[in-house]
Structure formats: C-alpha cells, structure tokens
Structure 1
Amino acid sequence: MIKIMIVDDQPLVREGLGTLLGLRPGIEVVGMAEDGTDALNKALLLHPDIVLMDIRMPKTNGVEGTKLIKERLPDVKVLILTTFNDSAFVFDALGEGASGYLLKDMPTDTIAQAILTVHHGGVVLPKEFTSQVLPELRMKSHDKPAEFPDELGELSDREREVLMHLGQGLNNKEIADTLFITEGTVKNHVSNVIQKLGLRDRTQAAIFAVRYGITIF
C-alpha cells in the first residue's frame, strides 16, 4: 500500500482529491495539510511514502515545503501539483528534491499513475508542461550566463543526447525509441550521466540540461 499525504491550502481540493485517490487500489491517503510547514509536522508523525504538494500556498509554499520535508525526511518523495501559471516555481521545487510535477487539472488516472511512477523511483515530467516552461527558464539563464561545468566534457556524444532528452521530460522508453536503442542501454547512459555530472538523480539531470541549454554536438 502506497501511503500519500495531500497538501493544499484549499479544503475542497484536499478533500476532493483525497476522496478520489482513496478509492484507488494500492493507495492510502494517510493525511492532509494546508501548507508546507503543516506538511512537515504531519509527515513526521504519519511517515507517508509520497507527498502531493501544491506549489502556491499563502503561508509556506510548495518549494519551501519540499525543502523542509527532504531535509528532515529524505526518503519521503514529493510530487508537485501545479498550474501553467506556476512555472516560475517548478524548477525551484525540483531543485529542492521533488520527484516531478503534475498539472492540477489532470485526470485522476494520470495522478494515480504518477504516484506509482514516483513510488518505483521514477520522475514525472509532463512533456506538454515542460515545453511551456523551457523557454522561460532559458531566458532566465541567459540573464545570468553560466559557464559550462568541466564535468560536461566527460560525457560522450550519446550521453549528451540522452541528457538533452532528459531535459525535454522524456522517459527511458521514449528516449530509447527516439535514439533507436534499448531501454537498458538508456538506463545505463542515464546512470553514467548522473555519476559523471555529480548529480543526485534524473530530475537534477533534467534541470541541468535545461539550465545549460544542452544540445547535441
């Protein structure tokens, strides 16, 4: 059973999503919270597997809430719930350790599948939303030019291709289909990229790709 906690400042959203997800086999809603600080306090007591975290809340927002939880409970995974208007906060939340993000108006089936993906160690980066926020993030990066890390030179051409596709939100199967290689090979390349760049996980790799505007040689 996957134990989840829902964090949103709107009671109707919390309760509605909780009711819908509570009907799903294999998912148990163990608690709800109204902001990031409340989420940490309850997570310390309830020990959820996954926290569904709204990103825009009036007290402690989702970025700060993600940071609080990952600092105290690093094994608890956070999945951000967002809207198209929240793109400025999304990559900050990912940088604090969130395992991905979903649009709030996605079907319950999609949210339930995302919970399963994150529970099994995956990352959720919806391509449609990623394509919207990439230009914005790149514009911000151009405002503050950053030199490419030396570690980038250690990547092979294929690893750099894989890194680029991670930044587009593709999963292993989609990358494999695009590059005409096996999923196992993609998995190995992803592991190599993470290790060579000194990153924590594929989410950080995706953020890295976007921040530095990675393109194929």
Structure 2
Amino acid sequence: MPTRIFIYDDSTERRDSLKALLLLNDEFKFVGEAMNCKNVISDIETHYPDVVLMDINMPEVNGIEGLRQIKLHHPDVKVLMQTAFDDSDKIFTSIKNGASGYILKNDKPQRILQAIEEVTQGGAAMNPAIAQKVLDYFKPKEINNPLSPKETEVLAFLAEGLSYKMVADHLGISYATVNTHAKRIYEKLHISSLGEAIAYYYRNLKS
C-alpha cells in the first residue's frame, strides 16, 4: 500500500512540483491539496492521508494552526512541516505541537522523499540545519554573570546557608566587607532580599 500524501501550500507552482515528485515514486500516492488550512479537518476526513506536507506561512489559516487541529483530531496522521524560513520560533512551535519533522523548501527532491519515508516509519525527519538549531536550543545557556568573582564567592557561601560572620571567617575578611559585597550583589541583580539572591545563584550560577 503506497503512503497517502496530502499537500498544503499557498503556491500552485510548489504544489505542482511536489505532486510531480510524488508521481515519480510508486511508494507514494498523492491524494489531495489545499492552499491553506481553512478546511483542514474535512480535508483529512475526506482524503485520509498518512502524511501531510504542511507549508507554514499560508493565508487565512496557517500551517501551525493546521498542525494543531490535525494532531488534536487525528493524532496518527504524520505532519511534515516545510517552510522557506529556518525560523527558530516556528521550528520549536511546530515540534511542540506534534510535528513529525521539519524540512526547508530548498531541500533537494531526494531529501524530501527521504523525509516522507522517515516519518512514515515512525522517525523524526529533520533538515541538518534544523537539527543543529534543535541541539543548540538544548545546550546549557551561557549566563553573563554580572557579579565579580569575589561577589560570586560570597553569594555561593550565603547560598549554602552561612551567615555573614561565617562567610567573613571563611574568606578572612571583615563582617563589614561581606555586608558591602551583599549590597553590591543586590544592586547588580536588581533584587532586595537574600532569598532572591540565593534563588538566582541556584538558577543561573551553580554548576
């Protein structure tokens, strides 16, 4: 049984080129097309596609809303997002809403067919540039620490529950100096309590 494909794209030329590509391959069957997602549920329930090639930027009802509707009502349908823009927000919105993969419109025809095969088999198809963006997104974010090394050290001790006096003893400085460091920490972090300072430390600075 060939994989049934439905195409959403507001460009007639793009739809025609995708249809021509699918017709060259016996494993795929083109079942329908639309220029936007205005009638997305009736489209799916009329044509029963296995995979939807979904343009993102379309008039009236765009591809991200179409994706949401498909996954809400027909979660088994695989949706392969395609766009001309490698836009991070659109990538992550699509992935969070259940997209099975993400390709760019300038991907080679063979890559598009491969992506359809990958999602049909339960994989997650992704253009290499998009995959790199996803990896970068999940890398630990580098924090630009506004505190000096000494202020960071003082804050680390305070976060461990030490009093100002204990911090002073540990660092061999006066209580007044610790107090001055604490005031500067509050100013630089735009906060007004030790609790907020400790929360900042654990959220952003503790390795």
- 1:119-164 deviation digits (Å, cap 9, x = unpaired): 01000122322324665x57xx99xxxxxxxxxxxxxxxxxxxxxx
Instruction: Give CA deviations for 1:159-208 in whole Å, capped at 9, x if unaligned.
Output: xxxxxxxxxxxxxxxxxxxxxxxxxxxxxxxxxxxxxxxxxxxxxxxxxx
**Secondary structure of 2:38's match?**
helix
Alignment RMSD (CA, Å): 2.3
State yes or no: 1:77 paired with 2:109.
no
Unaligned runs of 5+ in 1: 143-216
Residue 103 of structure 1 corresponds to 104
Instruction: State the match for 2:27 in structure 1.
Output: 26
Q: Does 1:67 align with 2:72?
A: no
2:68 corresponds to 1:55: no
SS across alignment from 2:87: helix
Equivalent residues of 2:7, 2:52 under 8 A apart: yes
CA offsets 1:44-76 (integer angstroms, 9 cap, x no match): 111000000001112111111000111111111
Distance 1:125 1:85 in 2: 12
Larger mean CA deviation between 83-92 and 54-63 belongs to 83-92
Residue 116 of structure 1: aligned partner: 117
Quote the residue 2:172 is aligned against: none
Could you tell me whether the CA contact under 8 Å between 2:9 and 2:15 is conserved in 1? yes
**CA distance in 1: counterparts of 2:87 and 2:77, whole angstroms:** 23
Give the number of the structure whose alpha-carbon radius of gyration is greater: 2
Q: Quote the offset at 1:32 in angstroms.
A: 0.4
In structure 2, give the amino acid aligned to 1:39.
Answer: V
- Give the counterpart letter for 2:35 in structure 1: E
How many percent of aligned residue pairs carry the same amino acid?
A: 39
Secondary structure, counterpart of 1:105 in structure 2 = coil
For 2:80, the aligned partner's letter is L
Closer, same or farther in 2 for the Cα pair 1:56/1:86, shift >3 Å? Answer: farther
Distance 1:76 1:100 in 2: 12
User: Which runs of 5 or more residues in structure 2 are unaligned?
Assistant: 143-206
Corresponding residue for residue 87 of structure 2: 86
1:6 aligns with 7
- Hey, which bits of structure 1, 4+ residues long, moved more than 4 A? 132-135
Deviations 1:12-62 (A, max 9, x none): 111111111121121000000111233332111110000000011121111
Aligned positions, number: 141
Per the alignment, do residues 82 and 123 of structure 1 end up closer, same or farther by CA in structure 2, a change over 3 Å counting? same
Alignment of 1:153-192 (within 5 A): none
Structure having the larger proportion of residues in helix? 1
Contact conserved, 2:50 with 2:78, CA < 8 A, in 1? yes
Contact 2:86 2:104 in 1 (8 A): no
Any conservation in 2 of the 1:32–1:39 contact (CA below 8 Å)? no
Q: Could you tell me whether the CA contact under 8 Å between 2:85 and 2:104 is conserved in 1?
A: yes
Q: Find the counterpart in structure 2 of residue 166 from structure 1.
A: none
1:55·1:86 contact (CA, 8 Å) conserved in 2? Answer: no
* Equivalent residues of 1:81, 1:102 under 8 A apart: yes
